């Protein structure tokens, strides 16, 4: 029997290949992020002072919504074609495969969102000194959101209309990340130190990294067998 880590690597490789073959799924959340942020100046007026003040919060809320949008796909296609059941009956720890899938999900949505955020920051005239905080907080925050979201995706994978339900059960759990992420950017925009917020985000990511794959694996066993 091969090492459990080879399961992790194999799942990683397979899911990465799949993600690159279905580029539409990867691009859609990004396009949503871009369009949704474009709506803000159209709705509120292009006044620079206003945009500057709300930019950190807006970018963070939209990143959260874009992540939510992509969560339903996390296990859905594997559930539909039966490969999820193969993972469930394999002798390897399921949480490892879940961790690999979540990692790919983050690479395909969280990371591009993070890379795109400075561009949107420029469009919303975010002060230059806040860009570092924006990228750093989004790196930590989107990873934690992918992990926590995987629990919601796993709980609802057996349901036809899981999409709205995921948002309903995952959004309250995202609140701490949203608070500290937006707060990091806001503090940086004021020119103050934001290490505390980053430390809390990192702590949240660490907790999620340990617990979320286990919880999501348990949830998958419940919702696939049931």
The b/e string for 114-153 (b: 16+ C-beta within 10 A; e otherwise) is bebbbebbebbbbeeebbebbebbbbbbbbbbbbbbbbbb
Closest approach of another protein to the CB of residue 215, in Å: 6
We find the least distance from the C-beta atom of residue 209 to another protein, in angstroms, to be: 13
Q: Give whichever of 33 and 60 is closer to another protein, judged by the CB atom.
A: 60
Q: How far is the CB of 78 from another protein (least distance, A)?
A: 18
22 Cβ partners below 8 Å, 6+ apart?
none
User: Which one, 114 or 186, has the nearer CB to another protein?
Assistant: 186
Q: Which is nearer to another protein, 12 or 61 (by Cβ)?
A: 61
With beta carbons less than 8 A apart as the criterion, state whether 7 and 14 touch: no
Smallest distance from the beta carbon of 113 to another protein, in angstroms?
22
Is the Cβ of residue 39 or residue 203 nearer to another protein in the bound state?
Answer: 203
By CB under 8 A, name the binding residues for another protein. 151, 155-156, 158-159, 161-162, 165, 168-169, 171-173, 175-176, 179-180, 183, 186-187, 200, 204, 207, 211, 215, 218-219, 222-223, 225-226
Q: What is the DSSP string of 174-223?
A: HHHHHHHHHHHHHHHHTT---HHHHHHHHHHHHHHHHHHHHHHHHHHHHH
At how many degrees (to 10) do helices 23-44 and 4-21 cross? 60
Query: 98 near 23, Cβ under 8 Å?
Result: no
Q: Which is nearer to another protein, 70 or 186 (CB)?
A: 186
| CB of 193 closer than 8 Å to CB of 129 | no
Q: How far is the CB of 120 from another protein (least distance, A)?
A: 22
CB of 155: closest distance to another protein in angstroms?
5
* Cβ neighbours for 206, distance < 8 A, ≥ 6 positions apart: none
Contact 75, 120 (CB under 8 A): no
By C-beta, is 35 or 175 nearer to another protein? 175
């Amino acid at each position: 029997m091969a090492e459990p880590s080879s399961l992790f690597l194999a799942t990683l490789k397979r899911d990465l290949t799949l993600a690159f073959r279905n580029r539409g799924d990867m691009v859609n959340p990004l396009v949503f992020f871009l369009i949704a942020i474009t709506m803000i100046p159209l709705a509120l007026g292009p006044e620079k002072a206003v945009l500057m003040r709300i930019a950190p919060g807006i970018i963070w809320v939209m990143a959260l919504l874009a992540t939510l949008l992509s969560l339903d796909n996390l296990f859905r296609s594997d559930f539909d074609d039966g490969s999820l059941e193969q993972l469930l009956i394999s002798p390897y720890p399921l949480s490892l495969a879940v961790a690999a899938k979540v990692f790919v999900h983050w690479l395909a949505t969280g990371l591009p969102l993070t890379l795109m955020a400075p561009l949107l920051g420029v469009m919303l005239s975010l002060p230059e000194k806040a860009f570092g905080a924006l990228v750093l907080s989004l790196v930590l925050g989107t990873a934690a959101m992918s992990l926590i979201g995987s629990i919601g995706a796993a709980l609802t994978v057996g349901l036809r209309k899981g999409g709205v339900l995921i948002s309903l059960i995952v959004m309250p759990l995202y609140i701490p990340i949203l608070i500290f992420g937006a707060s990091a950017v806001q503090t940086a925009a004021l020119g103050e130190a934001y290490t505390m917020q980053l430390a809390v985000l990192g702590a949240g990511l660490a907790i999620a990294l340990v617990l979320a794959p286990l919880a999501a694996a348990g949830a998958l066993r419940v919702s696939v067998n049931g």
